[in-house]
């Protein structure tokens, strides 16, 4: 190789080295190419110690208060890092609601037990009809609707109570794994069986609403407690007495409210009942927010679903007691559909008169 070529190659190499040195000096900011630790990696601080219009304390206070930023994704609610209302919701759900709900159910059971000990089983004062005569109280279709609604409600009540109280009562007994499986499949059952309950409520309303319109006669029945507290007291009543009418409307209205809030939980975003409800309430003097996020709608639905569910469970416990252990002959109405004639005369005298008049008219020969 000639010296001229070596000279040219050395010159090119020197030029490359000089360019690399210049780039390194610019990037490191040091003539000696010293590479110091990046400032952003020191203590996690932003290099240069910048300070914006907010201090860190003020910034996190705003985040904690629920400030909403901007995001590029379709779900704009994701711009809120912390939903502060969630703490209030959790405190209410796991605090007063769970505590007072449990107390309410226990008090309901204690009151029923005390009533049984004091009053005893409500007997047929004149005894069963000596001839064994009965009258049809409910036909097969009516009984089927009753048991569809009743059985689905019992399953919904048990699975719902498990979600609220199971971790305190059942989990210590079964263990975490078994309780988790029970709760998971209970939740699935709750969601699907809910539609059977909704169907039962709708059919029950259409089937019996005409018999459950309140009348002034109901006040007389209520004034004497329906004869439940005194032997020998039997106020006149049609097919459904005042107490049964109260249970009917509690089941229909409470069931409708449970169904709506439950559907809102199953289909969040598609069913949002609270903004519209608050708008109506504001027209009569309330001052409630009418712009609610999907999460806020869901939180309100959870609370309302729990409250209405607990009230209905307490009331239905009393209904089950009166219809089974508490009153002689009552269970026959939804079992065979045929009730003792003396029982019917004592508890639904006006209805018996109507049925006998119909039967008498049907038996009269045509002229």
DSSP letters for 335-360: HTSEEEHHHHHHH-HHHHHHHHHHHH
For tokens 């107390």, name the residue.
Answer: 103
Task: Find, among 159, 153, 204, the residue nearest to 183 by Cα.
Answer: 159
pLDDT of 40: 47
What would be the CATH architecture of the domain defined by 85-137+212-363?
Up-down Bundle (1.20)
Q: What is the pLDDT of residues 146-170, one digit of tens each?
A: 999 999 999 999 999 999 999 999 9
205, 146 contact by CB (below 8 A): no
Cα separation, 170 vs 183, in Å, equals: 10
Neighbours of 276 (CB within 10 A): 11
| Helix axes 294-323 and 140-169, enclosed angle (nearest 10) | 120
What is residue 84's predicted lDDT score, i.e. its pLDDT? 74
pLDDT at residue 200 is higher than 80: yes
What per-residue confidence (pLDDT) applies to 359?
Answer: 80
Among 317, 192, 306, 316, which residue's Cα sits nearest to residue 258? 306
pTM: 0.79
* Phi and psi torsions of 150, nearest 5°: -65, -50
Query: What does the pLDDT average to over 221-250?
Result: 94
Q: Is 337 exposed, middle or buried (0-12, 13-18, 19+ CB in 10 A)?
A: middle
Count CB atoms within 10 A of the CB of residue 212: 20
User: Distance between CA 245 and CA 344 in Å, rounded?
Assistant: 17
* Listed residue (249, 247, 239) closest to 211, CA to CA: 239
């Amino acid at each position: 190789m000639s010296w001229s070529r070596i000279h040219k190659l050395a010159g090119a190499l020197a030029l490359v080295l000089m360019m690399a040195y210049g780039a390194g000096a610019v990037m490191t900011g040091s003539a000696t190419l010293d590479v110091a630790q990046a400032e952003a990696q020191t203590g996690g601080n932003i290099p240069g110690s910048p300070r914006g219009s907010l201090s860190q304390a003020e910034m996190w206070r705003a985040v904690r208060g629920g400030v909403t930023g901007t995001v590029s994704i379709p779900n704009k609610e994701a711009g809120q890092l912390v939903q502060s209302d969630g703490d209030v919701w959790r405190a209410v759900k796991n605090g007063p609601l769970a505590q007072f709900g449990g107390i309410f159910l226990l008090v309901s059971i204690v009151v029923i037990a005390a009533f049984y000990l004091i009053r005893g089983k409500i007997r047929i004062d004149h005894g069963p009809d000596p001839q064994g005569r009965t009258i049809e109280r409910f036909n097969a279709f009516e009984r089927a609707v009753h048991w569809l609604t009743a059985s689905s409600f019992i399953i919904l009540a048990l699975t719902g109570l498990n979600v609220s109280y199971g971790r305190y009562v059942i989990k210590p007994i079964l263990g975490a794994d078994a309780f988790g499986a029970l709760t998971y499949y209970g939740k699935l059952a709750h969601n699907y069986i809910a539609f059977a309950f909704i169907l039962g409520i709708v059919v029950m309303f259409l089937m019996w609403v005409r018999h459950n319109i309140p009348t002034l006669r109901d006040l007389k029945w209520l004034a004497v407690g329906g004869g439940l507290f005194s032997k020998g007291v039997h106020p006149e009543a049609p097919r459904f007495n005042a107490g049964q009418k109260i249970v009917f409307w509690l089941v229909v209205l409470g069931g409708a409210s449970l169904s709506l809030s439950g559907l809102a939980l199953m289909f969040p975003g598609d069913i949002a009942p609270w903004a519209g409800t608050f708008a109506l309430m504001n027209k009569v003097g309330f001052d409630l927010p009418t712009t609610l996020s999907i999460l806020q709608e869901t939180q309100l639905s959870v609370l309302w679903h729990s409250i209405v569910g607990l009230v209905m469970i307490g009331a239905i416990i009393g209904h089950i007691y009166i219809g089974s252990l508490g009153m002689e002959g009552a269970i026959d109405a939804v079992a065979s559909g045929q009730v003792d004639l003396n029982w019917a005369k004592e508890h639904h005298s006006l209805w018996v008169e109507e049925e006998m008049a119909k039967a008498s008219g049907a038996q009269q020969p045509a002229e």
